[in-house]
Amino acid sequence: MLLSVIGLGKIGTTLVKGMIEANILSNKDIIAADIKVRDDEENKEYAGIKTSSDNVKAVREADVILLAVKPQLIDKVLKGIKRSVEGKLIISVAAGISTNHLEKNLPPSCRVVRVMPNTPALVKSAISAITAGSKAGNKDLELVKTLFAGVGEVIVVEEEKMDAITGLSGSGPAYVYLIAEALADGGVLAGLPRDLSLKLAAQTLMGSAKMILETGKHPGELKDMVTSPAGTSIRAIEVLESHGLRGILIDAVKEATNRSREMNNY
């Protein structure tokens, strides 16, 4: 199988490296195109894969096409490659772009799978949600699951859930980074050195997330395990509740979800 990757930004590059490092594909199995790269049979800047500045050249001989471009560019890219992708599997990671939109702008013989990964793919800890278009089959989904397993966990969902997933896990790392930064600032305010404070904040977030996943306990139950009567944690939670932390985070996910829905109109 030959995979063509259109777009070598952070997510495209990360996916390529993840697939190769996980031995899912070799560098000989991948060709990638991006306006910023040179034509190269073994581009050392991109894990030794073949690269081109010409999208059509990159997709012509490939079996599977991975579109790793921004949603604002998707229609331009689809228009450029449309005549060269007959019968191929098209995978898109463009946020907010539905399989229906992709199918309307591709030949009828194409199968489409939409994927919403997130940036922890950079450290092989992504959660990627995938959904099939009207013509993609189980074999197509299994192939996409295998490819994206190189950068983390993969789940299959109905397309109606994809915008909410974009709002939660797709945009979610940004919320977590903001929380981590704020916690670290709090530690500095309390007298801790910046580097130590940031390490404590990040490790606390990681460990707490691991507790949820590995114990299977509800976050509220785990919270109660930390909050002893009249203790420090319950005093801190009182402050968080008084400032509406829950509502702010819920609204953030809601607005990101709404924006994902809007983006399908590009």
Rounded CA separation 83/197 (Å): 54
pLDDT tens for each residue of 83-107: 999 999 999 999 999 999 999 999 9
pLDDT at 164 over 60: yes
Q: 122 forms bridges with which residues in the sheet?
A: none
Q: Band of the pLDDT at 215, cuts 50, 70, 90?
A: very high
pLDDT at position 264: 74
pLDDT tens for each residue of 218-246: 999 999 999 999 999 999 999 999 999 99
DSSP state of 230: T
Ordered by start, the domain boundaries in the chain are 3-157, 172-263
> Which of the four CATH numbers 3.20.20.70, 3.30.365.10, 3.30.420.40, 3.40.50.720 does domain 3-157 have?
3.40.50.720
One-letter amino acid for residue 49 of the chain: I
How far from chain centre, in Å, is Cα 165? 10
pTM assigned to the model:
0.90
Specify the DSSP element, H or E, that contains 171.
none
In the CATH hierarchy, which top-level class contains the domain 172-263? Answer: mainly alpha
Q: Band of the pLDDT at 266, cuts 50, 70, 90?
A: very low
Q: Band of the pLDDT at 265, cuts 50, 70, 90?
A: low
Q: Tell me which residue of 115, 223, 103, 106 sits closest to 159, measured CA to CA.
A: 115
Rounded CA separation 36/9 (Å): 10
